[in-house]
């Protein structure tokens, strides 16, 4: 059952995202029972992770539904956390007569996906909704009107985008204030450091959300030359600071002045702890650039 807005104490409603965000991309594969999933959420909350990142396509929509089952199992849990989800990617579906993966940011489709996510989670509002990928056919004015309407209705509190270039972000932000651009960044993926994405985020005060901060596990286990080179540079720093490689990777991202929100990708509680531990670690510039130098394969100019 959706909890009526009037019954929710305003003081309990979270406002800002937690510094670390829990990612639910593969959560439909974690094979947790509802009780196990509820416990995982509560343990995350105890660590200070109050923000949970979803998308309508994760697990073919099942990830949102499973999370919603956990929220329904514990009354009051919803008001202790922020729900972030994404929409705009249409996958092939016989039921919906979709034959080709493509993007859709039409007003009708965005509204339909928002309302579907509300049902999946069993809530009356989403804290943040992102357009998942830049749509070449996006009508920025129409989409901004859709954002405004859904916000007036209380269904979405904040809007952002994901994987957008600075130009694409600026196009939509000029018509409706966006709060984030969720982008890929890790010691093995440096593009956003140099294409203006993080400069724009810092200029606008729109804190970026960072997906795949451990490069999908490649940073820790990859056998390619770049992964091995970066690990070799990171390990002595991690040993000297007394932290794990994942914690060092999160700290490397958190060091940036755009104040990014790294998103975890693990269902393991230990994975969440390693991310949270990075909040107590501030790298100096030389250590930060040692990792950048290894990743770039060259010294700074």
Give yes or no for a contact between 27 and 267, defined as CB atoms under 8 angstroms apart. Answer: yes
Beta strands in 104-149 (DSSP E): 126-131
How far the first Cα of the chain sits from its last, in Å, is: 59
| Annotated catalytic residue within 58, 109, 176, 250 | 58
The 10 Å Cβ neighbour count of residue 196 is: 15
Give yes or no for a contact between 231 and 224, defined as CB atoms under 8 angstroms apart. Answer: no
CB-based burial label for 76 (10 Å; 0-12, 13-18, 19+): exposed
> What span, in angstroms and rounded, lies between the C-alpha atoms of 272 and 38?
15
> What span, in angstroms and rounded, lies between the C-alpha atoms of 105 and 89?
8
Give yes or no for a contact between 198 and 167, defined as CB atoms under 8 angstroms apart. Answer: no
Whether 58 is a known active-site residue: answer: yes
- Long-range contacts of range 284-290, CB-CB < 8 Å, 24 or more positions apart? 287/237, 288/252, 288/255, 290/233, 290/237
What does the DSSP 8-state code read for residue 174?
T
Residues ≥6 apart with Cβ < 8 Å to 280: none
Residues with a known catalytic role: 58
């Amino acid at each position: 059952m959706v909890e009526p807005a009037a019954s929710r104490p305003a003081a309990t409603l979270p406002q800002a995202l937690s510094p670390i965000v829990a990612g639910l991309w593969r959560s439909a594969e974690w094979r947790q029972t509802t009780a196990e999933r509820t416990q995982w959420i509560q343990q995350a909350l105890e660590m200070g992770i109050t923000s949970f990142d979803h998308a309508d396509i994760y697990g073919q929509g099942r990830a949102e539904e499973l999370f919603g089952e956990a929220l329904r199992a514990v009354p009051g849990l919803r008001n202790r956390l922020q729900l972030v989800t994404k929409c705009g990617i249409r996958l092939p579906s016989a039921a919906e007569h979709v034959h080709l993966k493509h993007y859709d940011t039409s007003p009708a489709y965005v509204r339909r996906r928002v309302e579907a996510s509300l049902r999946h989670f069993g809530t009356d509002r989403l804290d943040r909704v992102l357009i998942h990928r830049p749509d070449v056919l996006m009508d920025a004015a129409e989409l901004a009107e859709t954002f405004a309407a859904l916000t007036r209705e209380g269904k979405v509190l904040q809007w952002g985008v994901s994987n957008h270039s600075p130009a694409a972000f600026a196009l939509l932000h000029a018509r409706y204030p966006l709060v984030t651009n969720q982008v890929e960044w890790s010691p093995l993926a440096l593009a956003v450091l140099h294409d203006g994405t993080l400069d724009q985020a810092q200029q606008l005060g729109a804190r970026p959300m960072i997906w795949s901060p451990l490069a999908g596990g490649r940073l820790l286990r990859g056998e390619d030359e770049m992964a091995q080179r970066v690990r070799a540079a990171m390990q002595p720093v991690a040993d000297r600071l007394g932290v794990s490689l994942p914690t060092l990777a999160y700290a490397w991202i958190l060091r940036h002045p755009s104040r990014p929100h790294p998103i975890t990708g693990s269902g393991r509680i230990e994975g969440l702890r390693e991310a949270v531990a990075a909040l107590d670690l501030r790298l100096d510039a030389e250590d930060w650039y040692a990792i950048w130098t290894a990743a770039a394969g060259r010294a700074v100019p």
